[in-house]
């Protein structure tokens, strides 16, 4: 079965660089739309912990 990367709909059609996600039966893969040859792999447990951190604001970027 083939799995395709998906880009967030918030990115629209801009050329601003976005994150793409691909889920298989047992892993989640993440890559940049600018560097498609660099892929980071997560287990479902790792991904769930990361998403909880994102939703809680743990990884918010503070810009001056």
pLDDT value of residue 1? 46
Phi, psi dihedral angles at 22 (to 5 degrees):
-135, 130
Share of the chain above pLDDT 90, in %: 58
Tens of pLDDT, residue by residue over 8-26, are 887 877 777 788 999 999 9
Which residues make beta-bridge pairs with 22?
29
Tell me which residue of 39, 42, 23 sits closest to 31, measured CA to CA: 39
């Amino acid at each position: 079965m083939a799995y395709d990367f998906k880009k967030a709909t918030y990115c629209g059609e801009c050329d601003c660089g976005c994150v793409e996600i691909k889920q298989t039966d047992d892993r989640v893969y993440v890559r940049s739309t600018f560097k498609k040859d660099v892929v980071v792999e997560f287990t479902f447990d790792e991904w769930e912990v990361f998403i909880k951190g994102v939703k809680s604001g743990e990884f918010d970027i503070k810009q001056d």
